[in-house]
A = this chain, B = another copy of it.
Amino acid sequence: MAAEHLRLYSYWRSSAAYRVRIGLNLKSLPYETVPVHLIRDGGEQHSAAFKQVNPQELVPVLQHGDRVMRQSVAILEYLDETWPEPPLLPAAARDRQRVRALAQTIACDIHPLNNLRVLQHFDRNWHVPQPERDAWVQHWVQEGFTALEAMLADHPSTGTFCEGNSPTLADCCLVPQVYNARRFAVDLSKYPTITRIEKACLALPAFDAARPEKQPDAPVA
């Protein structure tokens, strides 16, 4: 496919945007970052202009030519179908199922519970104090990571990465979720396979360049 312009609506600390940045880097696809500040002025994702881009008022959004795409995991599948090398999914259907299930364990059952809009809802509507909000985040990360650790540690397909020895969709989701876990001071010592894989990923330039603190909209340290 012709290298039409790629624009990523992103926020440096959004873990869903981080997934897509990793995917774009793994495919060696250059892209333009369009920063959407999720906090400032009540959140730019809620502006009338951005609602036209995504009625869900969430990042990331990837624009490819005139096509506007939402949902990070669906975007990663698109990248993999459009630019097949290097693959983000293994060849066999049953292995692809495993990779997608690992990714969805994060993308469905950990991340959405701990997303900014949920924590804001607790604060503004239920007046849940900060320590309890933090405990909520830690709880769901621990629930999810305990299951993930079991699925990774006990499985013969696990290699250097979640599935075998090259990164997949599952690793694109895992690394941002571990970043989030650290932000909320989750004790990661119980998840040695997860942290081992995270380390292997971050040693690759594609993952390293996607780190939140390396984004153009990250605050200057």
A residues adjacent to B (C-beta < 8 A): 54-58, 64, 67, 69-71, 73-75, 77-78, 81-82, 93-94, 96-98, 100-101, 103-105, 107-109, 111-113, 118, 121, 126, 128, 132, 139, 144, 146-147, 150-151
Number of copies: 2
Identity of the chain B residue whose Cβ is nearest the Cβ of A92 in the assembled complex: B81
Q: Is the CB of B147 within 8 A of A104?
A: no
Q: List 8 A-B contacts (CB under 8 A).
A: A56-B105, A56-B147, A64-B94, A70-B105, A78-B94, A78-B100, A109-B112, A121-B139
Provide the residues of chain B in CB contact with A150, threshold 8 Å. 55
Query: Which residue of the partner chain, among B74, B97, B108, B146, contacts A112 with CB atoms under 8 Å?
Result: B108
Identity of the chain B residue whose Cβ is nearest the Cβ of A67 in the assembled complex: B94
Q: Is the CB of B74 within 8 A of A101?
A: yes
Q: Is the CB of A81 within 8 A of B104?
A: no
Provide the residues of chain B in CB contact with A71, threshold 8 Å. 100-101, 104-105, 108
Identity of the chain B residue whose Cβ is nearest the Cβ of A70 in the assembled complex: B101
Query: Which residue of the partner chain, among B54, B81, B98, B144, contacts A96 with CB atoms under 8 Å?
Result: B81
| Complex Cα gap A71–B70 (Å) | 20
Provide the residues of chain B in CB contact with A126, threshold 8 Å. 128, 132
| Complex Cα gap A73–B82 (Å) | 21
Q: Is the CB of A56 within 8 A of B109?
A: yes
| Complex Cα gap A74–B78 (Å) | 15
Provide the residues of chain B in CB contact with A64, threshold 8 Å. 94
Q: Is the CB of B97 within 8 A of A78?
A: yes
Q: Is the CB of A113 within 8 A of B109?
A: no
Interface-central residue, A56, A75, A113, A139, by most chain B CB under 10 Å: A56
Q: How far is the CB of A113 from chain B (nearest CB, A)?
A: 6
